[in-house]
Structure 1
Amino acid sequence: MGANTSSKPPVFDENEDVNFDHFEILRAIGKGSFGKVCIVQKNDTKKMYAMKYMNKQKCVERNEVRNVFKELQIMQGLEHPFLVNLWYSFQDEEDMFMVVDLLLGGDLRYHLQQNVRFKEETVKLFICELVMALDYLQSQRIIHRDMKPDNILLDEHGHVHITDFNIAAMLPRETQITTMAGTKPYMAPEMFSSRKGAGYSFAVDWWSLGVTAYELLRGRRPYHIRSSTSSKEIVRMFETTVVTYPSAWSQEMASLLKKKGRLNCDPTFELEEMILESKPLHKKKKRLAKKEKDMRKCDSSQTCLFQEHLDSVQKEFIIFNREKVKRDFNKRQPNLTLEQTKDPQSEDGQNNNL
C-alpha cells in the first residue's frame, strides 16, 4: 500500500515567501528569556542554519517587540564573514523567526567555562578577526554595545563571529549616545558617565574587545565588576585599580581547535525542547489551528486588546530573504554590465539631438 508513496522533499517556488514549512527542525541548542534556538535544515537546498524563534505574546508582555524589530532592521543590512549573518525572517501567529548562520563551535563563554585556556597565537587571530568585524560595523554606523565572550561564536575552523544585535544602536553622523546599555563588566568607562551628558561612540566596542581578550588569555577579567556592582563603585574602580599583566602570556594552554569533533552546547536544551517544553515546535500546526478556533470565541475586552497588540506585531514584522536578495542582484548584473558597455559616443549623439 505504501510502495507508491514518495520520500522526496516538497518542491517550493523560489518566489514564494519562506516560512516555517520550508525547514526541518533537527534539534534544540539554546534558549533565552523569551526566545529559543534550534538547528534546522532548509528542505530545498539542504543547507543548515540556526533558527531563533521568539514568542510574540512574551515579547508584547515584556515590551521587547521594538528591540526585536530594531535587531531585524540592523541585521538585514549587514553581511560580513566574521558576523553571524541573517538569512531569513518570517512569522506565524505564535512566533517570530530569525534564521542565521549555523556555527557549531560554541561561544567563547562556553569554552571558558570548560576551563579552556587559549594560546596567545589563537587570541591574536580572534582579535584580528573581531577588529575586522567591528571596523565593518563602524563603517555601517553600528555600535554593538554587548561585545563579550557570550556573543562571540566559533565555526568549525576556529574562526570567530559576532552575534546578538539585540541592544545594538545605529548612530547618526556627528552624534553620540547617552543611554546606558550592555553588560557591566565589559562596558567602557564613558558609558557610566554618559548620564552627565558626555555621551559615547564606537570606542566602547573596542574597550569591550580589550576586556574580552584579557579574559581569554588569563581566564578572568581585569576588573572585578559584577552585574550588581553600582555605577559609582565601577567609576571608582576604573580610577583606582591597577591592571596587572602576566609576564608570560605564552604559557601552554589547551587548544580550541582540537575540540571540534562535537557540538559545543548544553545537550539538556534538546531534552527540554522535545520532552519538557510546553509548546514544542513539532506540535505547532495543531496548536495554531486550535488557537484560531479559540479566537473566534473571543468575548473578553482584555483578551481582544491583547490580540490587537499581537495583530500590530503581525503587521509591522520585517520579512527578509537574503537568498532572494542575492538572486535578484545576480539577475540584474547582466543588465548593469550592458548599460556600462554602451557606446558613449552614441549616447552623446542622442544628447546632441535633444
Structure 2
Amino acid sequence: MGNVCCKEEPVDLLSEVELSHFVLLRSVGKGAFGKVRVVQHKGTKKLYALKYINKDKCIQMKAMENIISERRLLEHINYNLIVNLRYAFQDDENLFMILDLMLGGDLRFHLDRSGHLPEKYVQFYAAEIASSLNYLHSKNIIHRPFRAKSNEELQRMIIHDTVDFPKEPKVSSDAIHFIRELLTRDIDKRIGVGELGFKRLKKHPWLQHTCWDILSSKTVGAPFIPDEKRSNFDPTHELEEVLLEDNPLKVKKRSPPREPSTDGMYPTTAIMKDKQLLEEKFIIYDYTKPEENQKRCSLPSLVTYSHKPKKKVENFFF
C-alpha cells in the first residue's frame, strides 16, 4: 500500500484576509495577553509581523476598549518611522494584526545585551521618535510617557515628582537640558509642543546635527543596521511556543455566526456580549483594498448594548 500524505488545502488569496493566507514562522515576542511572530504572505511572499491577542484574556483583563482603539487608530497611520498596520482580522479565539516587520529587535533586547546605548545612538533614535510623535500629533493622536497604579498617583507624579539623573553612565549637559525641556510641566513652555515647539526642538543644541529633512526617508545612516543572519530577538519566545504553549497558534475554520434571538437581540450574557463587541468592532482591514475598508467603516452597528454612553473623546490614546 502507498503512503498517505497530508496535503495543504488550496487558499483563495482573493477572499477576505484570514490566517490561512500566511505561513506561520518563528515567534519573536509576547506581551500581557498578546504574542508576536513572523509570517509570510503566501501570495506576495512578503514578511510581516503578526500580533495576535487571545479574546478570552483580552476580556478577562478588561482590555477590549484599548485593543479596539489600537486597531482603529492604526488604520489612519502611514509613516516610514512607525510600524504600520497592513491587515486585521479575527477567528473564534484570537484577534490578529499584521504589521510591518522590523528585524532589528526591540529596545529592551538591545539594552539587556549591551547595558546602555552610546549617546550618539540615543540622539538618532530621539530624533526619529520626535518626528514620529509630531506626525501622530498631526493626526490628533497622543501618547501618554507615565504609568501608575491609580489616577491619583499618576497625577501626583506628573505634577510634583522630581527628575533625577544617574551619575553613571555620564550624560552630556545638552542631553540633560533636552530631557528637562521635554518634561517642562507648563505645556506652553514645553519643547516640541505644536509646530513652533517642534521647530524649537529641531534647533536644540543636542540635536543640531540631525538631518531632519531626510530622516523619515530612512536614507540616513542608522547607528545599528540589523544583520539578517543574526537574531535580534529573545530565542526563549520561540522555545515557549514549542514547549510550553497549551494551545499553539494554527489555522482554524471559523464557527458559523450566531443567530439573534426572537427579539432581534444577541444573547446578553456578559462574556457573549463582550465577544460580540469584539466581533463587531474589530473589523477586517486590508491595506490593498482601501475602498472595501472605507465601506466596512461606514456599516451601521448590528448589536444593541445596555452600556451607558461615555463622553466623546476626540483624541486617540495608545
Could you tell me whether the CA contact under 8 Å between 2:91 and 2:252 is conserved in 1?
no
Q: Distance in 2 between matches of 1:100 and 1:258?
A: 18
Could you tell me whether the CA contact under 8 Å between 1:118 and 1:216 is conserved in 2?
no
**Pair 1:137–1:120, CA change in 2 (3 A):** same
Residue in structure 1 matched with residue 289 of structure 2 by the alignment: 324
| Residue from 314, 319, 336 that aligns with 2:279 | 314
**Pair 1:215–1:266, CA change in 2 (3 A):** farther
Residue in structure 1 matched with residue 248 of structure 2 by the alignment: 280
Residue in structure 1 matched with residue 13 of structure 2 by the alignment: 12
User: Residue 217 of structure 1: CA displacement?
Assistant: 7.8
Residue in structure 2 matched with residue 243 of structure 1 by the alignment: none
- Report whether the alignment pairs 1:31 with 2:30: yes
User: Residue 191 of structure 1: CA displacement?
Assistant: 5.1
- Report whether the alignment pairs 1:183 with 2:151: no
**Pair 1:285–1:217, CA change in 2 (3 A):** farther
User: Residue 144 of structure 1: CA displacement?
Assistant: 1.7
**Pair 1:192–1:101, CA change in 2 (3 A):** farther
**Pair 1:96–1:113, CA change in 2 (3 A):** same
RMSD of Structure 2 on Structure 1 (CA): 4.1
Residue range with higher mean Cα deviation, 64-73 or 268-277 = 268-277
How many pairs were matched up?
Answer: 227
| Residue from 262, 269, 275 that aligns with 2:237 | 269
Q: Distance in 1 between matches of 2:276 and 2:169?
A: 45
Q: Distance in 2 between matches of 1:256 and 1:114?
A: 14
Q: Distance in 2 between matches of 1:111 and 1:66?
A: 31
User: Residue 26 of structure 1: CA displacement?
Assistant: 0.4
Residue in structure 2 matched with residue 97 of structure 1 by the alignment: 96
Residue type at the aligned position of 1:12: L
Q: Distance in 2 between matches of 1:320 and 1:128?
A: 31
**Pair 1:57–1:85, CA change in 2 (3 A):** same
User: Residue 328 of structure 1: CA displacement?
Assistant: 9.5
**Pair 1:305–1:134, CA change in 2 (3 A):** closer
Q: Distance in 2 between matches of 1:81 and 1:258?
A: 17
Which structure's CA Rg is the greater one?
1
Could you tell me whether the CA contact under 8 Å between 2:28 and 2:37 is conserved in 1?
yes
User: Residue 31 of structure 1: CA displacement?
Assistant: 1.2
Residue in structure 2 matched with residue 121 of structure 1 by the alignment: 120
SS of alignment partner, residue 83 of structure 2: coil
User: Residue 69 of structure 1: CA displacement?
Assistant: 0.5
User: Residue 277 of structure 1: CA displacement?
Assistant: 0.2
Where in structure 2 are the equivalents of 1:1-354 lying within 5 Å? 10-13=11-14, 16-115=15-114, 117-146=116-145, 182-183=146-147, 192=156, 256-257=224-225, 261-282=229-250, 284-285=251-252, 305-325=270-290
* CA deviation vs aligned residue, 1:179-201 (integer Å, no higher than 9, x gap): xxx336xxxx99546799xxxxx
User: Residue 273 of structure 1: CA displacement?
Assistant: 1.0
User: Residue 268 of structure 1: CA displacement?
Assistant: 1.1
* CA deviation vs aligned residue, 1:184-221 (integer Å, no higher than 9, x gap): 6xxxx99546799xxxxxxxxxxx9xx9xx99985xx9
The unaligned stretches of length 5 or more in structure 1 are 147-181, 197-207, 223-234, 236-254, 293-301, 330-354
User: Residue 81 of structure 1: CA displacement?
Assistant: 0.5
**Pair 1:310–1:80, CA change in 2 (3 A):** same
Q: Distance in 2 between matches of 1:122 and 1:276?
A: 36
User: Residue 62 of structure 1: CA displacement?
Assistant: 1.4
Q: Distance in 1 between matches of 2:19 and 2:98?
A: 10
Residue range with higher mean Cα deviation, 114-123 or 83-92 = 114-123
Could you tell me whether the CA contact under 8 Å between 1:120 and 1:217 is conserved in 2?
no
Could you tell me whether the CA contact under 8 Å between 1:60 and 1:309 is conserved in 2?
yes
Q: Distance in 2 between matches of 1:29 and 1:9?
A: 28
Q: Identify the structure with the greater helix proportion.
A: 1
Q: Distance in 2 between matches of 1:117 and 1:303?
A: 52
Could you tell me whether the CA contact under 8 Å between 2:90 and 2:96 is conserved in 1?
yes
Residue type at the aligned position of 1:279: N
Residue in structure 1 matched with residue 300 of structure 2 by the alignment: none
User: Residue 323 of structure 1: CA displacement?
Assistant: 2.1
Output the TM-score relative to the length of structure 2: 0.60
